[in-house]
A and B are shown apart, each in its own frame.
Chain A
Amino acid sequence: MEEAKEIEAGETATSSRKVIILDPKEIEAGETATSSRKVIILDPKEIEAREANQIEAGETSTSPRKVITFDPKLVINKGILILGFVMRLFAVFGTIGSALAMGTTQESVVSLTQLTLLKAKYSDLPTLMFFVVANAIAGGYLVISLPVSIFHIISTKARTSRIILLVIDTVMLALVSSGASAATATVYLAHEGNTTANWPPICQQFDAFCQRISGSLIGSFCALVLLMLIVINSAISISRL
């Protein structure tokens, strides 16, 4: 075994020697069992000879190539955030569409028994007014939160704003759910009426009005489901930051 030449303890970067430490598996047959590591100290010429055969992986400033790594965790994180943004977009359409559909309903029906013109408008029922207002507020908030969501996709450091968005999303979930179910209760009453309370069903008179207010509930319930998914999505992205 050759002795180590000119090796001094504490040699630093000035030396052009390279130290390769081999794993135990790479020891050739015939080596003694006591040693489990092998240290080879190379000459600069041998370094060049070895490096000429090396794959140019990860070279930075010398070569003009740039290595892009697709870390699967990062891709999944970005995917989750983009999915959240897409769901917000659809929820915007759901809430604002519902508010518009409900807010533009009015119907005039001639009542033959009393010879008067009966008008039905959404503002006659305070619950439907609340529905329109709640969906308008939620739609406005979702529109404002779209650029914030894009900002979250780009930068991963905005922790406080993610939590603020989660808080307001939860409040909006409660608000939309409240508006949609109160309007559903009223629309159900309008369809069926109630004998105990002596409330007549008004849908028999105002058919188109009834259909319109029933249909506008669908968009709001879709937005409700999307808001639930948005809240869960925000929480998952917070936990994976």
Chain B
Amino acid sequence: MSLRNPSYTNPKPCKHLEDYKLRHGLSGYKSIQRHLKATPHGRTSVEMLNTGVPRCNSCNGFQGRLYLCLICNSVSCLDHTLLHTQSEDGHDLAVDIERAELYCCVCCDQVYDPDFDKVVMSKHNMGVPRDDKHGDESIGERLVKRRRLGLGVAEELVDLKKSKQLVSMRDRRDKSCYPLGLRGLNNLGSTCFMNSVLQALLHAPPFRNYFLSEGHNHEACRRRSGDRLCLSCDIDVVFSAVFSGDRAPYSPAHFLYSWWQHSANLASYEQQDAHEFFISVLDGIHEKEDKSRNRNRDSGDCQCIAHRVFSGLLRSDVTCMTCGSTSTTYDPCVDISVDLDTSNFSPTDTVNKRSKPNENSSISTLLGCLDLFTRQEKLGSEQKLFCETCQEMRDSVKQMSIRRLPLVLCLHIKRFEHSAVRKTWRKIDRYLQFPFSLDMTPYLSSSIVRNRFGNRIFSVEGDESDINTDFEIFAVVTHSGTLESGHYVTYLRLRNRWYKCDDAWITEVDEEIVRASQCYMMFYVQKMLYQKADEDLSSLPLSPRRDAYLPIASCCERLFK
């Protein structure tokens, strides 16, 4: 957001603000500084302590908005701000006492100045350690300097050209019109939960590229750890099989066997949860790598492929409602589980019957779920927390946000609720609208924290890495049925066509089918990786050991809807 949007860090001032700054610099702001009062809710107002109720100089009115002149400190109501600037030359800039916003009396409009916001923000206890080295650097400069940091890891996983030679041989069995890696998976007995997640993993661009370009070397792995269980090796086998060009459905039997050995507690022939399986597989990959590889010493982040692709960072802020001080914690995550936003059912819907029914207000949307996930949540009075500053138990507000986005974002919808009456868990079948293109900017920590303080212009930790916030969907895992008994199906988006992967059956479907489906897990990938993935599909590298690939014929027509 910030880099693409220059008006955020550098809003264009009106002529009067410019003149004012030239003549008075920051002196007016600094003089106001001691009168600024910050509330624990992130708001700021002006308090002229010794004058009692502020009144307009011209009409003595005290109602409505009042504006404090930055030069002479005289107060005017909205009706008389123009009068003030006419009678006193150059007294164009004032501050809204209620909200501490700059107001240009000549333009009759709210204006913005990063320097003023900086002064305002100095009154707030942010709770996050400030980076003192950059005190005087403008936000713009810092953002430009650190721009390149975010791309490092992604570039490695994206650039296939770095890997082995490209080979293409003709495989007569292959149905060449369809993208590589499209292959059904046999259901081995209630294993659709596994098949559905495998399909998504097989087509997560950076994950796929890693395995297809020999990212995990069998021999090296065997040498290091003998015959010990390695889920990555087994996944590698699945990748080879699925991308071999053979279109007959593949039975991931060996993988199931390995996974059951890893997740002993999940090893049973029964219907299971796809999300649990997903977490379990990533954990299995991580565990093995953790023992054998060194951590990246610079950033301390785990370098296993599971984390490099899926790991992000969540930020949790707990704010004391009395003094405003915030305690922040960071937690890594490999996905985000959100509750359905069913709050749109309002009793006032009946009132709206007269007006035109607005569909949007009664549908659950993914953005609504994310809004819910990142909203400020008042912790009940029975959950008071100890505030270090107040040294007392206080009412608090909690807010989640995303500090760092992963390359592949897995969003999991918690489609189950507990019925206190029946004391059982029940599945929520409610439809959830989800976009194909997702902009995660509003959910980043920088956006959320900034918003908490009224969107003042100041830099928030993490601004520099908030570059890749555009995501494209590439897989949707859907569930139909009940909690105890149901069926998972995955929809894959390859080269902008949608394919339904229902165990062994791969069919092409219209995007409408996907939009109307009941989503359970959605996989989004950073947009630039998505675009590159499409190009790569036509020329995937392979090691000499592997089976042949066939380049995609890009000329065929859509065979059927």
Partners in one complex: no
